[in-house]
Amino acid sequence: MDWECCWDREVISMGDCPNIREGDEDLLASQRRRILEKCCDCPNFKRDLIRFRDSGHPLSPVFSLVHEEYRRQKTQIQSLVSFLDNKTLEVRFLHELGSVLQSSVDLEEVLSVALTAITAGKGFGMNRAFLFMTDKERGHLQGYLAIGPRNYEEASQTWNEIASNDLDLQTLAQNFRKNKLSAERAKFHDILERLSVPLSRTDHILVKALDGKHPVLIEDAFHHPEIEPEFARLLGVDTFLLMPLISRNRRVGVIIADNCITHRRITEEDMRSLETFTFPVAFAIERAALYDRLQVELNRVTEASNKLKEQQELIVRMEKMALVGRITSSIAHSIRNPLMIIGGFARSMLKNTPESDPKRDFIESIVGEARQLEGVLDEILNYSDSLYPTRDFWDANYLVESAIRDTAEAQRARGCVCGFEAGHDLPPAWIDFKQVAYCLRTILQSDIDGTVEQGVISIGTSLEGDVIVIRIEDRSRCVSQDELDTMLTPFSSTQDLGGGLGLALCKTMLDKQGIPLNAESLPEGGLLYTIILPTRKEEQP
């Protein structure tokens, strides 16, 4: 019998079998494999079988039966292989997902991965997903994040992008977080805002799903007895899947997934796969949320620790300063009494010493030196005081007036005048009155000492922005800028200028309060002191 099919030939050539194409060359010389893989489905072979059956051979019905069974089994095996391939892909996907979720403690990253996994074609391939998180403090289940297209055009564009890039889940999630998370939040903001359910509402489908701890498939949502019409309207889809996120019996949240664009049916298998997926997601979300809270607490503890450290340093500093203050005061006290006795007796002696007495010069020297030493002592004590500025709100005009009044005697002795132009409606200045008054007095005294007889010192106060500016101007006195700078520098020789340590000390004291003191030699002659007083507490250092 001549057969149409090539099954009876050990070796064939290319073109002998219509089912053998390029790439199948190894079948040309392998009769067994060729019969199993190609001939059984070949129309030529079927025709050969018919001819064999028609020949009346007693084995022909058996042969047909075996052939038919073989084909059925083959189809079944192919179907099983396909099923196993899908399961392998799913397991691989879940493994990948688990690895990513396990390695992350960042809530946004976890959410990005979870929602990407639900909607990615390589994942569960749902069109859209909403995440609700439980807010334990408020006792609410609140819409938190959503992902997915809002219409077909957007869907088509997104899916084309994903298809053309062929990225793995982690990269997809990273891209989503980097490029789309904020946009998706904004896109679904209106829906998420309104999707808030009190956890006490046990009749609400979301709370029911959460309490039931099992996924719920909702079909025909618009007519479903357990779905509120407003809820269905907000989602805008009649079939969706509710997946509770439970971690160690704690209610973490709920995910809603739907196929609002493709309307692909959600199967039992989808439900089972997604249920498996929700366990690691819930755990990862809870862990990330706990990590967030831990970070907040850690920051608080760090902040408290830093504050404590600062306070400790402050206490140590204050103790040191207090010690310095006590030592300074003690020394000053020990010095002042003998000094005043020396100076006092010298003055008494001077009073009773005739002008012609040659010893008078010596006694006058003692009086002068004692006075100078008392001045130095005052400065030391004032510096000791300046370590503890005590600020309050004070009238700047009153401050200037008291300084002018306190130097009245010196003005009279020198024959000069202080003219004061008080600013109107000044707010109170936030200063240590005693220290700033001392500084003003010292500046005035220094100027009175250095000015010409009958000189005029102009003083003015004004509000500039939110600070009060005090200007002390003396047009009759010429001092170079270098000399002025020297006067304001501690431990510089200023004897010629008559300023002593006073001005440098003033600058230091004012600096400690954050009050700038500037001394300027005017180009047209004269000098100008500027003191800027704050009017607000927060301007202090």
Which of residues 47 and 371 has its CB atom nearest to another protein in the complex?
371
Q: Is 308 exposed, middle or buried (0-12, 13-18, 19+ CB in 10 A)?
A: exposed
Supply the minimum distance, in Å, between the C-beta of residue 369 and another protein: 10
Supply the minimum distance, in Å, between the C-beta of residue 339 and another protein: 7
Which of residues 117 and 399 has its CB atom nearest to another protein in the complex?
399
Spatial CA neighbour of 442 closest among 378, 372, 389, 397: 378
Pairing of strands 417-421, 456-464: parallel
**Computed from CA positions of residues 208, 212, 213, 218, in that sequence, does the dihedral angle turn out positive or negative?**
negative
Pair 235, 128: CB distance under 8 Å = no
Stretch (H or E) spanning 218: strand 216-218
Residue 193, SS3?
A: helix
Supply the minimum distance, in Å, between the C-beta of residue 292 and another protein: 51
Q: Record the tokens describing residue 435, joined without a space.
A: 């220290």
Distances (CA, A) of 5 to 10, 108, 367: 12, 63, 140
Supply the minimum distance, in Å, between the C-beta of residue 442 and another protein: 14
Q: What is the rounded CA–CA span in Å between residue 281 and residue 244?
A: 10
Supply the minimum distance, in Å, between the C-beta of residue 371 and another protein: 7
Distances (CA, A) of 181 to 170, 175, 422: 15, 9, 61
Which of residues 48 and 432 has its CB atom nearest to another protein in the complex?
432
Q: What is the rounded CA–CA span in Å between residue 505 and residue 446?
A: 13
Pair 394, 433: CB distance under 8 Å = yes
Which of residues 60 and 329 has its CB atom nearest to another protein in the complex?
329
Supply the minimum distance, in Å, between the C-beta of residue 344 and another protein: 4
Which of residues 50 and 340 has its CB atom nearest to another protein in the complex?
340
Supply the minimum distance, in Å, between the C-beta of residue 336 and another protein: 4
Pair 114, 101: CB distance under 8 Å = yes
Terminal-to-terminal C-alpha distance of the chain: 112
Q: Where are the alpha helices (DSSP H) in 55-180?
A: 60-103, 107-119, 152-165, 169-175
Which of residues 276 and 390 has its CB atom nearest to another protein in the complex?
390
Which of residues 48 and 379 has its CB atom nearest to another protein in the complex?
379
Supply the minimum distance, in Å, between the C-beta of residue 382 and another protein: 8
Residue 456, SS3?
A: strand
How many residues would you count in the chain? 541
Which of residues 462 and 508 has its CB atom nearest to another protein in the complex?
508
Spatial CA neighbour of 336 closest among 282, 292, 387, 373: 373
Which of residues 348 and 481 has its CB atom nearest to another protein in the complex?
348
Distances (CA, A) of 122 to 39, 292, 503: 36, 30, 79
Q: Record the tokens describing residue 368, joined without a space.
A: 């002068």
Supply the minimum distance, in Å, between the C-beta of residue 423 and another protein: 27
Q: Residues with Cβ < 8 Å from 474, sequence gap 6 or more?
A: 447, 451, 455, 456, 457, 458, 526, 527, 528
Q: Record the tokens describing residue 476, joined without a space.
A: 């009759």
Supply the minimum distance, in Å, between the C-beta of residue 515 and another protein: 20
Cβ atoms < 10 Å from Cβ of 537: 9
Concatenated DSSP letters for 318-337? HHHHHHHHHHHHHHHHHHHH
Supply the minimum distance, in Å, between the C-beta of residue 384 and another protein: 8
Which of residues 62 and 340 has its CB atom nearest to another protein in the complex?
340
Which of residues 250 and 371 has its CB atom nearest to another protein in the complex?
371
Pair 196, 140: CB distance under 8 Å = yes
Which of residues 12 and 335 has its CB atom nearest to another protein in the complex?
335
Pair 53, 61: CB distance under 8 Å = yes
Q: Which residues bind another protein (CB under 8 A)?
A: 329, 332-333, 336-337, 339-348, 351, 367, 370-371, 374, 378, 381-382, 385, 434
Supply the minimum distance, in Å, between the C-beta of residue 413 and another protein: 13
